[in-house]
Amino acid sequence: MGTNTDFRMGRREFLAGAALGTAMAHMATQTVRAIPTKVDPHEPQTGGLPDPEKPIGLGIIGAGNMGFAHMRQMWEAQGPNQSIVFRAISECYKRRERQVVNWARDAMGISVDAYSDYQDLLARDDIDAVIVATPDHWHALNTIHALEAGKDVYCEKPLCLTAEEAVAIRDAVYRTGRVFACGVQGCSNPAFRRARQLIDEGAIGDLVWGQTCAARNTGHTTDPQAGEWNYHIDPDATDDPEAGDAYIDWQQWLGPAPDRPFSPPRFFQFRKFWDYSGGIATDLIFHSMAPFVLALGLPAPERATASGGIYIQQDDREVPDTFMTTLEFPQNFTMVIPSSTANAHGIPPVIRGNRATMHFGGWGHIRLAPEPGFQDWFEQRFGTQELHIDAAADEGLPPPPNPYVHHFTNWFECIRSRKTTFCPVEVAMDTMIAMKMAVEAYRQDTVIYWDNDAQEYIDSHPRPNRRSKYPPSEA
């Protein structure tokens, strides 16, 4: 490991997580890394299968804003053959814990148990699956421990905080045979499944480059600066155990992150700080990029560059409000991704081939347009000058009431059927590696390289003699 790889390995006691530590130590000794055998989900190595005659027993690790929202949405999403019941939550902020427990009692008519330590939740035999909705720095340990405890997992995006963690999660899913889904609702869009088929069939020719983005603007005339992730801070929140509902178990919340004094901004607005988040890349671009990884069928990038800065939102944040990255993949394909939380005008998602270009236009919709020199080829192949596809209609799918519902429903179905989810661990892992490479390219002001065979960072391009850059010279 060279100078490019020194940036996250000092996280406090992180390697103390046995499953993760073993996986990461193994990685460092391999040139071509052995991937664990993928266990059949019908015969998992940890835990059992849910009783088909009973509701799926669920637990939530991290019942804050996102976890509580997922709880309400999942309750609404369940179908006649997907009945669920929430049994327990794990939450380190007493006010949020009480809010969720009271809602479950009043809205669902059930009693939900609450724990500060998520390991107590995982020890329960009546919980079949868990939702991980903690801050990013906890995702790896939460997920791996849940898989090892025999639970199927829905992990909120991003998959985790680092590339090494992403590989370790993939390995844990393979070893245990549990069903895994990452919370990228865009992967439920049938347009990207159809795109994968079209690309594999050569419908756009050879891949060249693509684009996607993330664009928001929280500013307005009375507060032009504003600032993404400036969530409300409860003024009475404290790490005093005697404070009742205002108590936050700060050490439990920090977990594997660097030790710091109690900080309400870090707790309530964690996405602004590098200790717990990758900012725009992991919170917003991850949503845009994962469907592309699914559609393209590509591994992680080999090379990443990035630029940007805190141009507008000058507050206590560490992460940029404007962020640009370029990701180069082994199949001679490049993704260009601009993003900003200070301007909401982005660019549309597009995949370009040398023969045609693929445009995405909402739920299930794809438009294929030929390159000027390939119009005859295109019309002969497709019988039209421009092809419009409604992948949702082709699959007999109605528009979802909202993308969350469709994504949750798929997870419930896969817990029962043991099939692969719309956003499986492979897609989540490769997306996470791409996003972390982009983050570190920005933070270090350098080019970041990744070796897909060894599945680790390296100091120079893994294909130094690649034909795309160094074509053979004439004798």
- Per domain, the residue ranges of the chain are 3-188+405-425, 190-220+278-401+434-456
pLDDT in tens, the chain (475 residues): 333 333 333 334 443 443 444 444 444 444 688 899 999 999 999 999 999 999 999 999 999 989 999 898 888 777 655 689 999 999 999 999 999 999 999 988 999 999 999 999 999 999 999 999 999 999 999 999 999 999 999 999 999 999 999 999 999 999 999 999 999 999 999 999 999 999 999 999 999 999 999 999 999 999 999 999 999 999 999 999 999 999 999 999 999 999 999 999 999 999 999 999 999 999 999 999 999 999 999 899 999 999 999 999 999 999 999 999 999 999 899 999 999 999 999 999 999 999 999 999 989 999 999 999 999 999 999 999 999 999 999 998 887 767 778 899 999 999 999 999 999 999 999 999 999 999 999 999 999 999 999 999 999 999 999 999 999 876 5
Q: 């490769």: which residue's tokens?
A: 430
pLDDT for res 15: 38
366, exposed or middle or buried, with CB in 10 Å at 0-12, 13-18, 19+? Answer: buried
In degrees and rounded to multiples of 5, residue 358 shows phi and psi of: -110, 120
Q: Which of 425, 423, 391, 428 is nearest to 407 (CA)?
A: 423
Contact present, 86 and 60 (Cβ < 8 Å) = yes
Q: Is 190-220+278-401+434-456 the same fold as 3-188+405-425?
A: no
Contact present, 395 and 411 (Cβ < 8 Å) = no
Three-state secondary structure call for residue 130: strand
Contact present, 275 and 260 (Cβ < 8 Å) = yes
Question: What is the crossing angle of helices 139-148 and 18-27, to 10°?
Answer: 110
Cα 139 to Cα 270: distance, rounded to the nearest angstrom = 14
pLDDT for res 7: 31
pLDDT for res 473: 76
pLDDT for res 76: 77
pLDDT for res 17: 44
Cα 349 to Cα 287: distance, rounded to the nearest angstrom = 12
Contact present, 85 and 56 (Cβ < 8 Å) = yes
Cα 436 to Cα 304: distance, rounded to the nearest angstrom = 9
The CATH T-level fold of domain 3-188+405-425 is Rossmann fold (3.40.50)
**Token code pair at residue 72:** 């309400």
pLDDT for res 81: 58
The CA distances from residue 215 to 25, 271, 315, 422, in Å, are: 38, 16, 19, 24
End-to-end CA distance of the chain: 38
Cis peptide before 464 (omega within 30 of 0): no
Contact present, 154 and 128 (Cβ < 8 Å) = no
Q: Are strands 303-309 and 322-329 parallel, antiparallel or unpaired?
A: antiparallel
Q: Are strands 84-90 and 350-353 parallel, antiparallel or unpaired?
A: unpaired
The CA distances from residue 247 to 237, 242, 244, 434, in Å, are: 6, 7, 6, 37
CATH number of 190-220+278-401+434-456: 3.30.360.10
Cα 260 to Cα 254: distance, rounded to the nearest angstrom = 8
Contact present, 445 and 320 (Cβ < 8 Å) = no
Q: What pTM does this model have? A: 0.93
Other Cβ atoms less than 10 A from the Cβ of 358: the count is 24
Q: Where are the alpha helices (DSSP H) in 239-343?
A: 250-254, 264-268, 280, 286-296
pLDDT for res 26: 41
Give the contacts of 357 (CB within 8 A, at least 6 positions apart): 204, 350, 351, 368, 369, 371
Cα 13 to Cα 360: distance, rounded to the nearest angstrom = 44
